[in-house]
Structure 1
Amino acid sequence: MGKMKRLIYLAHRWLGIGACVLMLLWFASGVVMLYVGYPKLTPPERLAALPPLAEEACRAPLDGLEGRPLDDPRATAVLTSAGGGPVYLLREGRGPIRVFSALTGSAVQGPAGAREAVASAQAFAGAPALGYLGTIQEDRWTHGRGLDVHRPLHRVLVDGPEPSTLYVSSATGQVVLDAPESQQRWNYLGAWLHWLYMLRFQSVDPVWSWIVIALSAAGTVLAASGVCVGIWRWRFRGRYKSGSRSPYRAPMMKWHHIGGLLFGAFLSFWIFSGLMSMNPGGVFSARHGAPDMAAYRSAGSADFSGLREPARIVAALRGAGFAPVELAWLSLAGRPYVLAHDAAADSRIVTAEGHGLEVRDRWRPEEIRPAAGRLFKADTRRLSVLSDYDAYYYRRHAEAMNGGAPRGLPALMLQFADPDDTRVYIDLRTGEVNLALARSERAGRWLFYFLHSWDTPALLRAGPLRDAVLIFLSLGGMLVAATGIVIGWRRLRRKGVR
């Protein structure tokens, strides 16, 4: 036992000399991240910048395009706006995106160039471009895997309430990321610093991943060992000769000791949860496969002939008091439908009924259930309709790391009897599978998101009170780290003198 204690003392002392600097940066940047997120373009922001679709500009029918785009069960077809007019975006599985004019049905040849990128950026911002900054494959703000299909990316600096750098897809000509200058500056003190992105050079970077894992593990050992040392050195019965329960007389040592006792448990949990965010060794990954989205959609067996004319669909939506900016052709177990969005990110469903079109705001659960049963070759253990968020399916503010994830209500929740005990959430307003979590992923939700962000729906509703508590605890972490830096520096100086 004596040797173990000695090792813990030594681990805390020598790990703390370097790790306290990292911990101070982590806690300070974490406070910034409460209010300034990593640059992203959320679905509401993207849709808000799109113009309403006009009937006269959507002349080309879906089946009038080159090839049969929806024969592949993984295929998607979207009618949206890019480069100053409506276009179809077609993609089969993980293949490239093909672009067709919605006016003529002809293919748009080649990648979007600088002129198209500038036009798209100006239309998105509603302000003039200040300059074209060229193309990049990837930079500090564009590590997300979702951008891979759009690379290389054009960069355009635009004017507005504040200058912003807009990233435009070379595949579609659409703006895919918005990075205002003030957000970029704050991110150097926030997410970019917090995630050590100065060490990351590509979207999949194993070297960066293992550096963060190793540093987080060292920080966890440092914090946990500090809690042990602090408890061992505190006199719960009696006092030291100084009259204090702490043996330390020097102010920095005393503040470090007392601060560690007060905040050490929170420090340990936060740093440990940061380690869990990296999913070390794939410990939280699903073991037996993801939901079978091809079976859920079965687009290849769907008959879209009743939904082939976009102008007719736009007219039906407008007749229902809905101004669409984007249409997507989808299917549920072979049943075709069009999902429409407006500029406010509201949605409608259009189906072909007889010789007419029906517009409604949601699916009924019994209509979703047959398609949902195809997601896994297993029975359903539980099925319920959510009218409010639960501990796994909930919405975050836009600044949060997962703030752009769609989380619509009402939602159909199904828990399958597959080997992973997977829980699936389907948005009844869109028919989209918004979330699927295996048992291991649900454990990761508690060990990362909850411990790191305190993000249960009840705590999120506390709003400013939750923020105030998190900031107070972060200040406690900064106190412990800052005093540790001073103590470590003084020890190194003494060693140097010797």
Structure 2
Amino acid sequence: MKRWLFLVHRWLGIALCWLMALWFFSGVVMMYVGYPKLTQGERLRTLPVLLEACCQVPLVTVFDAVGEGGRIQSLRLTSIGGAPFYVATLPGQRYVTIDAGNGAVLKVVDAAQALRSAAPFAPGRALVYDGSLAEDAWTHSKALAGHRPLHRISDEAGWLYYVSSASGEVVRDVSPVERTWGWVGAWLHWIYPLRGGSIDFAWSDIVIYSSIASALLALCGILVGIMRWRRRAYANGLHTPYRSFLMRWHHWLGLVGGVFVLTWVLSGLFSMNPWRIFDSGAPALRQPPLLVKDFTGLTPAVALRQLGEAGQQSVELVWQPLAGELFALSFNARGGQRLIGWRQGGEVFSGHSVESLAAAGKAMLPEASVVDELLQENYDWHYFSRDEHTMSGHLERPLPVLRLRFDDPAGTWLYLDPASGRVVQRLDAHRRVQRILFVFLHSWDWRFLLEKRPLWDVLLITASLLGFLISLSGVVIGWRRLRHRSREKTRAV
């Protein structure tokens, strides 16, 4: 058994230590520069104020243009390339864009339209159309599936902008910093060199099984290291039997940092949700689609005027149903929100009552009962926000938030935002376990540490450096081993 531990550790190390070294190095880069994304704040800052005269097309005309029997999932009034448009989201990540001025459907997003769409993101800078593509190094996200193919635009400052061929909107921007550091950060960390080519279909399995093999390598290394350490010194006067400087340090570093290496690799594995182990099979929330009959009441022009009179300079309207009523959620360029009741005389208000929000949340899971209801004023273990550049940094986590705990078999928790009426997070028992096994163990996002920065930075960089040195020393040891075997074979011949 001991011999097998040594052999497994040796040959897995030769095969995988180089990959693990890249993981630790790129992980430190990702602490400060993440994979590119277009955040809500970045998008809203590019939008002009919506004027009353911008949207004379009746909403019934919008529904007729969309089709789908007048049933859509969401509807926004926004601006694309400085002009007002309605953007309807349909099931299956499909989009229909309608000109708010004349009711025409944007059927084709060509190069000229893509350049117009990107122009507000690069004021005063020359733009170049780089062509259409399915995906590239910065657009592997599943969230972009319904927008492909994408039009890529570049500007003279080195930014990239990706425009949806479905909606005509900019759906991703990439800064020069993200482009530079992304190659040695997220692109390496997630093994994205294997994405987009002939083996793209196997990328997920490659990552999963590489992680399993790396975890086995780390576990064997920990066991071998413990077995080779002696409380009483060896004949060489040390507690390690190795005479080579590099082997001694590999041994000592493994004893100190081996557990971190193991937990980090395992948590990376769990990020992939292998074999869907974190899927509970819970039913979808009951949220009815928008229907044209719900839009009787205000017109967009009147709503914009009343919002303006209340001090809200709207750059986007999103229609939001709640408990059988329809509301429009208004955003200004700084992300500030106000609500207006669509069938309630146009009342402008700042948020829903806890009672109405709780009733709406209960209706989303009618087969279960609420066992706990809490208006949460602060972030906690399960509900927290991260910096924009991090993997979950684009997710909105407003406060206060209403948390509803249900007694359904999946153990569902719903978090609803009083300011908008939206569900901002849904957790079940499986996802709460994943929060520990992946999110916490992988990025140490314990609120205490995140609020005590730079303590978090120092601890995570130190642990990553340990893992990097263990892996790098393993690479050198493995190379020497292979070179030695090659020389022995040469001599034998």
TM-score (norm. length: structure 1): 0.93
Instruction: Measure how far apart 1:341 and its partner are.
Output: 0.8
Instruction: Measure how far apart 1:428 and its partner are.
Output: 1.3
Mapped to 1, the partners of 2:283 and 2:33 lie a distance apart of 35
Contact 2:48 2:82 (8 Å CA) reproduced = no
Q: Cα RMSD between the aligned structures? A: 1.9
Counterpart of 1:49 in structure 2 is: 46
Counterpart of 2:74 in structure 1 is: 76
5 Å matches for 1:180-199? 180-199=175-194
Mapped to 2, the partners of 1:398 and 1:103 lie a distance apart of 34
Q: Does 1:239 align with 2:236?
A: no
Residues 95 and 273 of structure 1: CA distance in aligned 2, closer, same or farther (over 3 Å): closer
Q: Does 1:122 align with 2:119?
A: yes
Counterpart of 1:367 in structure 2 is: 356
Instruction: Measure how far apart 1:206 and its partner are.
Output: 4.4
Q: Does 1:472 align with 2:462?
A: yes
Deviations 1:216-262 (A, max 9, x none): 001101111111111111112x1111211111121100000000011
Counterpart of 1:305 in structure 2 is: 296
Mapped to 2, the partners of 1:186 and 1:258 lie a distance apart of 32
Counterpart of 2:91 in structure 1 is: 93
Q: Does 1:381 align with 2:364?
A: no
Contact 1:127 1:158 (8 Å CA) reproduced = no
Mapped to 1, the partners of 2:197 and 2:283 lie a distance apart of 26
* Segment drifting more, 123-132 vs 329-338: 123-132
The residue type equivalent to 1:324 in the other structure is S
Instruction: Measure how far apart 1:144 and its partner are.
Output: 1.4
Mapped to 1, the partners of 2:399 and 2:81 lie a distance apart of 33
5 Å matches for 1:88-487? 88-94=86-92, 96-104=94-102, 106-159=103-156, 162-201=157-196, 205-236=200-231, 238-294=232-288, 299-300=290-291, 303-307=294-298, 309-352=299-342, 354=344, 356-376=345-365, 377-487=367-477
Residues 206 and 54 of structure 1: CA distance in aligned 2, closer, same or farther (over 3 Å): same
Contact 2:194 2:200 (8 Å CA) reproduced = no
Structure 2: stretches of 5+ with no match in the other structure: 489-493
Instruction: Measure how far apart 1:95 and its partner are.
Output: 5.8
Residues 353 and 453 of structure 1: CA distance in aligned 2, closer, same or farther (over 3 Å): same
Residues 66 and 202 of structure 1: CA distance in aligned 2, closer, same or farther (over 3 Å): farther
Instruction: Measure how far apart 1:351 and its partner are.
Output: 0.8
Residues 368 and 73 of structure 1: CA distance in aligned 2, closer, same or farther (over 3 Å): farther
Mapped to 2, the partners of 1:418 and 1:142 lie a distance apart of 37
Instruction: Measure how far apart 1:96 and its partner are.
Output: 2.7
Residues 301 and 202 of structure 1: CA distance in aligned 2, closer, same or farther (over 3 Å): farther
* Segment drifting more, 344-353 vs 441-450: 344-353
5 Å matches for 1:11-26? 11-26=8-23
Mapped to 2, the partners of 1:13 and 1:311 lie a distance apart of 71
Aligned residue for 2:281, secondary structure, equals: coil
The residue type equivalent to 1:152 in the other structure is P
Contact 1:329 1:337 (8 Å CA) reproduced = yes
Residues 494 and 210 of structure 1: CA distance in aligned 2, closer, same or farther (over 3 Å): same
Residues 302 and 225 of structure 1: CA distance in aligned 2, closer, same or farther (over 3 Å): farther
Instruction: Measure how far apart 1:38 and its partner are.
Output: 0.4
The residue type equivalent to 1:415 in the other structure is R
Contact 2:63 2:292 (8 Å CA) reproduced = no
Mapped to 2, the partners of 1:204 and 1:493 lie a distance apart of 31
Mapped to 1, the partners of 2:166 and 2:124 lie a distance apart of 23
Instruction: Measure how far apart 1:127 and its partner are.
Output: 3.1
TM-score (norm. length: structure 2): 0.94
Contact 1:302 1:335 (8 Å CA) reproduced = no
Residues 325 and 109 of structure 1: CA distance in aligned 2, closer, same or farther (over 3 Å): closer
Q: How many residues align?
A: 486
Contact 1:77 1:89 (8 Å CA) reproduced = yes
Structure 1: stretches of 5+ with no match in the other structure: none
Aligned residue for 1:143, secondary structure, equals: coil
Residues 325 and 301 of structure 1: CA distance in aligned 2, closer, same or farther (over 3 Å): closer
Instruction: Measure how far apart 1:19 and its partner are.
Output: 1.1
Contact 1:302 1:336 (8 Å CA) reproduced = no
Contact 1:122 1:158 (8 Å CA) reproduced = no
Mapped to 2, the partners of 1:214 and 1:91 lie a distance apart of 37
Mapped to 1, the partners of 2:161 and 2:362 lie a distance apart of 41
Contact 2:77 2:86 (8 Å CA) reproduced = yes
Contact 1:144 1:203 (8 Å CA) reproduced = no
The residue type equivalent to 1:303 in the other structure is D
Contact 1:302 1:334 (8 Å CA) reproduced = no
Contact 2:6 2:224 (8 Å CA) reproduced = yes
Aligned residue for 2:98, secondary structure, equals: strand
Contact 1:330 1:336 (8 Å CA) reproduced = yes
* Segment drifting more, 112-121 vs 187-196: 112-121
Residues 53 and 203 of structure 1: CA distance in aligned 2, closer, same or farther (over 3 Å): farther
The residue type equivalent to 1:178 in the other structure is D
Contact 1:140 1:197 (8 Å CA) reproduced = yes
Q: Does 1:62 align with 2:59?
A: yes
Instruction: Measure how far apart 1:68 and its partner are.
Output: 8.1
Deviations 1:271-317 (A, max 9, x none): 010011111110001223232233xxx6449632223x111111111
